[in-house]
Amino acid sequence: MSGKLRFRFVSLAALGLITQLAVAEPLRVRVTGLRSDDGTVHVALFDSEQAFADRKPLREADVPIKDGEAKWVADDLPPGRYAIRAYHDENGNRSLDRTGIGIPDEPVGYSNNARSKFGPPRYDDIAFSNEGGADEVVIRTERVVSPGGQFGAGFAVVYSESPYKGADSYQVWPFPSLTYFGKRFFIFGPRMGYILGGTDPWTLSAIGQVRFRALDPEDSDFLEGMDKRDPTFEAGLRLRWNGPKRIDVSVSASTDVLDQHNGQDFSFDINRGFRFEQWMISPSFQLLWQSRNLSQYYYGVSSKEARPERPEYDPGATWTYGPGVNVTCQVFDPWTIIASVGLEFLGPGITDSPVVDQHALVRGFFGISRQFGGPPGR
């Protein structure tokens, strides 16, 4: 490279560096609404919608609190479009604590002080431009739910097609719908749980839920002589991963605690939430394994129940699987409408049973309740 070319190259590089330094501005962030100086404030700066969805900040910091405020400066930040999330890490564990269903359990806030009823706000709602040097960005943190928790009361119905031969084509169970999302304890219709621990995005909870499936020998002539199979209550553990882009994955194991079927089940669940203003639509998929005792109780035929047209049958351990969709609506705030519908495909251990004449079942849930204590979010 000649001396003249080398001089031009160095000059252009220097000019580019000087230009960048000239336009780069410090971004000043002030976080307010902090009720104590305990812990720290975690500030995360995002430079794109994808980075925000993937929880991959361009810069982040744990900032000390003084007199109920936290201040942070991002130096040499090129002009662009950015977004900020901040939360008060009250216990100093460097993680945003959540309830058992993923609701933040520590005060959280976003740039533009945007709020959302379903999870974090959209990137477009929290994004801002620092072209020419942005003014100080002030973020006010708030608890998503009140310290006493969020409570709801209403009415719900569980619906399921019956798998049993000759029985009514569907089964319906109405019941009072209660919801509660507190610091650790939660109730969601026929399900409840208690958070045992975890670090964002992982949560381990003790859970309990009603199993509604039932067999009544009075439902058909073919089932006459069978013992009645009743709904029961199951309890166990659930490990949940609250992933990016509203993807939730959980694995759970539970056992019968009312001595009905005395069996166990293991499930894998995945769902993805899509928000549309005051609606949240979440497609889902479940894979469920059921132990021999559980399967025998609901789908087996014992020796004393056997008839020529209904031979003795032991299904062994069985599988079911299928897709579903959950819909949450808050158009009529503070009333919340929750509905779900799913398709349950029965494995061969079930469909081969002489008392079963279905290969797939439609199941659903509908509930309406009035909410107290703040909107849900995540």
Which of 18-22, 23-27, 217-221, 243-247 is predicted least confidently? 18-22
pLDDT in tens, 62-79: 999 999 999 999 988 888
d(CA 176, CA 185): 19
Q: Which domain holds residue 72?
A: 3-140
How far is it between the farthest Cα atoms of the chain?
A: 103
Asked whether residue 31 falls in the same domain as residue 107, the answer is yes
Asked whether residue 129 falls in the same domain as residue 186, the answer is no
d(CA 115, CA 189): 26
Asked whether residue 101 falls in the same domain as residue 156, the answer is no
pLDDT for 22: 45
In DSSP notation, 1-68 reads: --HHHHHHHHHHHHHHHHHHHHH-EEEEEEEE--S-SSSEEEEEEESSHHHHHTT--SEEEEE--BTT
pLDDT for 167: 85
d(CA 95, CA 176): 35
pLDDT for 100: 62
Mean per-residue pLDDT, 330-343: 88
pLDDT for 24: 65
pLDDT at 10 over 90: no
pLDDT for 176: 87
Residue 216 lies in a domain: yes
Asked whether residue 136 falls in the same domain as residue 158, the answer is no
Whether residue 250 contacts residue 239, with contact meaning beta carbons closer than 8 Å, is answered with: yes
Asked whether residue 133 falls in the same domain as residue 164, the answer is no
Residue 145 lies in a domain: no
Q: Note the Cα 332 to chain centre separation in Å.
A: 22
Identify the CATH number of the domain in which residue 70 sits: 2.60.40
Query: Nearest Cα to 326, choosing from 253, 266, 248, 212?
Result: 248
Confidence of residue 39 (pLDDT cuts 50, 70, 90): very high
Q: 140, 173, 198: which is the final residue of a domain?
A: 140
pLDDT for 130: 83
d(CA 130, CA 167): 67
Asked whether residue 128 falls in the same domain as residue 200, the answer is no
Residue 204 lies in a domain: yes
Confidence of residue 271 (pLDDT cuts 50, 70, 90): very high
Q: 121, 140, 159: which is the final residue of a domain?
A: 140
Compare 183 and 244 and report the one with higher pLDDT: 244
* Average pLDDT of the residues of the chain: 87
pLDDT at 141 over 90: yes
Compare 371 and 323 and report the one with higher pLDDT: 323
Asked whether residue 58 falls in the same domain as residue 155, the answer is no
d(CA 322, CA 270): 11
pLDDT at 378 over 80: no
Compare 246 and 217 and report the one with higher pLDDT: 217
pLDDT at 103 over 50: yes
pTM of the model: 0.74
Asked whether residue 116 falls in the same domain as residue 193, the answer is no
pLDDT in tens, 155-164: 999 999 999 9
Whether residue 27 contacts residue 134, with contact meaning beta carbons closer than 8 Å, is answered with: yes
Asked whether residue 128 falls in the same domain as residue 154, the answer is no
| Neighbour tally for 9: CB within 10 Å | 11
Number of folded domains that form the chain: 2
pLDDT at 12 over 80: no
Query: Nearest Cα to 346, choosing from 160, 207, 221, 174?
Result: 160
Identify the CATH number of the domain in which residue 154 sits: 2.40.160.40
Compare 4 and 280 and report the one with higher pLDDT: 280
pLDDT for 83: 96
Residue 377 lies in a domain: no
Confidence of residue 186 (pLDDT cuts 50, 70, 90): confident
Mean per-residue pLDDT, 175-192: 84
Query: Measured between alpha carbons, how far apart are the two ends of the chain, in Å?
Result: 58
pLDDT at 40 over 90: yes
Cis ω on the peptide bond leading into residue 334 (within 30° of 0)? yes
d(CA 103, CA 375): 10
Confidence of residue 21 (pLDDT cuts 50, 70, 90): very low
